[in-house]
Amino acid sequence: MAELEIRNLHVRTEEREILRGVDLSVRTGELHALLGPNGSGKSTLANTIMGHPSYEVTEGQILFDGQEINELSTHERAKLGLFLAFQYPVAVPGVSVANFLRMALNAQREEPIKVKEFGEQLGHAVELLDVDRAFTSRHLNDGFSGGEKKRAEILQMAMLRPQIAVLDETDSGLDIDALRTVAEGVAKLHAEQGLGALIITHYQRILDHVRPQFVHILIDGRIVMRGGPELVERLEREGYDPIREEVAASA
Amino acid sequence: MPEATDRPAAKAGSAPPATLNHALAGAGTERAALGDLRARARSAYEHLELPTWRRSGFWTTSLDQLDIDALEVRSHPAQSSAPAFLNDQRSAGVLVQRDGSVVYTQLDPALAERGVLLCSLEQAAREHSELFERYYMRRLTLDRHKLEAASAAFWSGGAFLYVPPGLQVPEPFQIVYEISTGATAQYAHTLAIGDRGSDLRLREYGLAEPIDGDALHAGQFELYLEDGARCRLAQLVDWGPGAVHDVSTSIVEVARDGWCHWLPALLGGSLVHHHDELVIAGPGGDMAFRGLFFTDAHEHLDVFAVDLHETGPSGGDVHWRGAASGESRASFEGLIQINPGAQQSHTYLQFHSMLLSAQARLDAIPSVLVSADDVSASHGGTVGELDEDLIFYMQTRGLTRPQAVRVIVDGFFEPLIVQLDDPHLERLIRDRIGAKLANAAAEIERYALAR
């Protein structure tokens, strides 16, 4: 059982302050959704959790299992069991999906993984996620369609078996089939590996396929409302404006 | 300081472009006995000054710091075994020259029985004079610059390979030039012939111990592929961290329906100037001219690669990749030249670069000279730096920054390396690239922080 905890997190870039006091906790086995309009700070939160060098934490803490990780480098956070599925995964030219997965697995281990063991794990993952095995010999994200890139993200997640994954608008730009693949993948890893996930999204439609227990609404760098799945339905009906007004009135 | 003339003439229409063949026409094409050629080269050597090549208008390759008179050609006794790095693979034959002497020669007896010749070039001049005189210096010049003249005048040892008509040899022939000590000059000369319809693999290595003091490798390489002959040629140059100055010319001639896949991998040397020229000399000739280099520290690399089509129809595909780190300087100049009458020649030149340090310089100068109208010739390329988004992506998967950089640089070279179709050589090149990256790790880190 692992826990990612964020306390009073303030983050800025060179230009401006983006997060202005975020509190959030995600445990293994929990599914959280973070919704918010464009520019509310969703991607900043995702990148800051992984230690992206462009984002400066000016106040607050990120904790993993009670230990502050603000100063940890990105690869060390990955080794703790954190994972980020990217909104726009970049191409890794010249490296096949399978070879990249092997490198990433080896980065987390003392001894390199044995060929047979790796083959078995990969076989299991492609079967679980219903991915064509031939896909794993293509160069990672190089010339991939939007859907293939997201599938590759989920495949990496399945192989690396993180405790907590952050999915940064993994659903954006996907047709309905690809969206279903991604959502079902997350649900399966949640069920099989006890994955805890923070699903960041601009739309609500991914949440038709994967049911979060906890829903958070991020506006202007703060989480302004929390609830359960019913909050998603309300957003779908009303949009963000009534929530904004409600928050403004109570402030 | 006189400038060496390996570039096309600056004024259009004044003089023909100075590729090797045109230069040769000026030098006279009659075949003279070896002694005459040496004497002519010696005379040129005595009259010429050390060369300077101007690159990009910004910097030059100059050898005026090299005290050539302080360098000696050293002799060594024969040895009984091949270099260790060749032990874990099969070879058709091996020839090793250390400094000024051929110290080891081995040829598969079954191939010798079928007429394959592999011996020192000195021996070939004595014992295979007909072949020697037919091919020796057929395409190479001896008086474009002082070091070329020195090589033609003073070469010792040397390598000679002949593969008879129709013979297919799947295992590689391996020719190794080693520099073992400082204050040395190595004048190297390889002459290789693939006769009609033969098929061979040839590798040439330029390697050095970490020497003290200056050394010079002035090399000439010539490969003739007769009608229908095919060759995979690779040259691996890694002179190590010592002050080795390598000024070399290589030429490959492909006759009718011949084919060559040629990859020089230039992976180390304090000053390296290579003129590499591939000539399609007969209709139906085709080639894939690949090359890669990686400079670090204070290395200085200057490549002039020529894709020359004398006749058509012919094909060409030139693809080079280079990376530079540290305070190194590298220049790649690529020339496609299609001569009058070489109709239906189709060729493409691409060069991709990756800069790994703010202090490094890497220039690319492509040019195309076409004197026929029914042809296609074009060039393209990319200029790259380390992609920080890509590094972050890999770090989120648990790779450290150096690991991520290694993946990027390996991936950059991989499209060329996989085409070698030779696991042993591929591993040698990948390992060498890895070692250079490890050397450059601190600079690469600083570069990232500075951006």
pLDDT tier at B8, thresholds 50, 70, 90: very low
C-alpha distances (whole Å) from B105 to each of A250, B128, B142, B158 are 90, 16, 27, 11
Could you tell me the two tokens for B51?
A: 């060369």
pLDDT in tens, A178-224: 788 888 889 999 999 899 999 998 777 778 888 899 999 999 999 99
pLDDT tier at B19, thresholds 50, 70, 90: low
What integer is the mean pLDDT of B412-419? 92
Residue of B nearest to A109 (CA): B398
d(CA A153, CA A88): 10
- A134 vs B446, which has greater pLDDT? A134
pLDDT at B11: 27
Contact across the interface for A92 and B396, Cβ inside 8 Å: no
d(CA A190, CA A172): 21
pLDDT tier at B126, thresholds 50, 70, 90: very high
Q: Is residue B158 exposed (0-12), middle (13-18) or buried (19+ Cβ within 10 Å)?
A: buried
What integer is the mean pLDDT of A97-121? 94
- Cβ neighbours of A53 in B, within 8 Å: 388, 392
For chain A, give the secondary structure using H, E and C. CCEEEEEEEEEECCCCEEEEEEEEEEECCCEEEEECCCCCCHHHHHHHHCCCCCCEEEEEEEEECCEECCCCCHHHHHHHCEEEECCCCCCCCCCEHHHHHHHHHHHCCCCCCCHHHHHHHHHHHHHHCCCCHHHHHCECCCCCCHHHHHHHHHHHHHHHCCCEEEEECCCCCCCHHHHHHHHHHHHHHHHHHCCEEEEEECCCHHHHCCCCCEEEEEECCEEEEEECHHHHHHHHHHCCHHHHHHHHHHC
A75 closest CB neighbour out of B389, B400, B412: B400
- Cβ neighbours of A104 in B, within 8 Å: 394, 397-399
What integer is the mean pLDDT of A130-157? 91
- pLDDT of B377 > 60? The answer is yes
pLDDT in tens, A35-73: 999 889 999 999 999 999 999 999 999 999 999 999 999
Cis amide leading into B313 (omega within 30)? yes
Q: Are B307 and B279 in contact (CB under 8 A)?
A: no
Q: Which of B257, B295, B296, B302 shows the shortest CA–CA distance to B276?
A: B302
pLDDT tier at A93, thresholds 50, 70, 90: confident
Considering A201-210, B78-87, B92-101, the range whose residues carry the highest mean pLDDT is B92-101
| Whole-prediction pTM | 0.86
Is B380 in the A-facing interface, judged by CB distances under 8 Å? no
Residue of B382, B397, B416, B419 to mutate, interface with A, max A Cβ within 10 Å? B397
Q: Are B175 and B204 in contact (CB under 8 A)?
A: yes
Least confident of A71-85, B111-125, B297-311, B397-411: B397-411
What are the DSSP calls for B17-36, one per residue?
A: ---HHHHHHHH------HHH
What integer is the mean pLDDT of B139-155? 94
- A49 vs A93, which has greater pLDDT? A49
Residue of B395, B407, B412 to mutate, interface with A, max A Cβ within 10 Å? B395
A89 closest CB neighbour out of B393, B403, B412: B393
Q: What percent of chain A has pLDDT over 90?
A: 69
What integer is the mean pLDDT of B404-422? 91
pLDDT tier at B185, thresholds 50, 70, 90: very high
Contact across the interface for A103 and B407, Cβ inside 8 Å: yes
**Chain A interface with B: residues with Cβ < 8 Å:** 50, 52-53, 73-75, 77-79, 83-84, 86, 89-95, 100, 103-104, 107-108, 139, 156, 160
Does the ipTM exceed 0.90?
yes
Mean pLDDT of all residues belonging to chain A: 92
pLDDT tier at B223, thresholds 50, 70, 90: very high
- pLDDT of B415 > 70? The answer is yes
A94 closest CB neighbour out of B400, B403, B414: B414
What integer is the mean pLDDT of B241-248? 95
pLDDT tier at A249, thresholds 50, 70, 90: confident
- pLDDT of B17 > 60? The answer is no
Is B398 in the A-facing interface, judged by CB distances under 8 Å? yes
B395 closest CB neighbour out of A75, A103, A139: A75
d(CA B73, CA B265): 26
Contact across the interface for A74 and B410, Cβ inside 8 Å: no
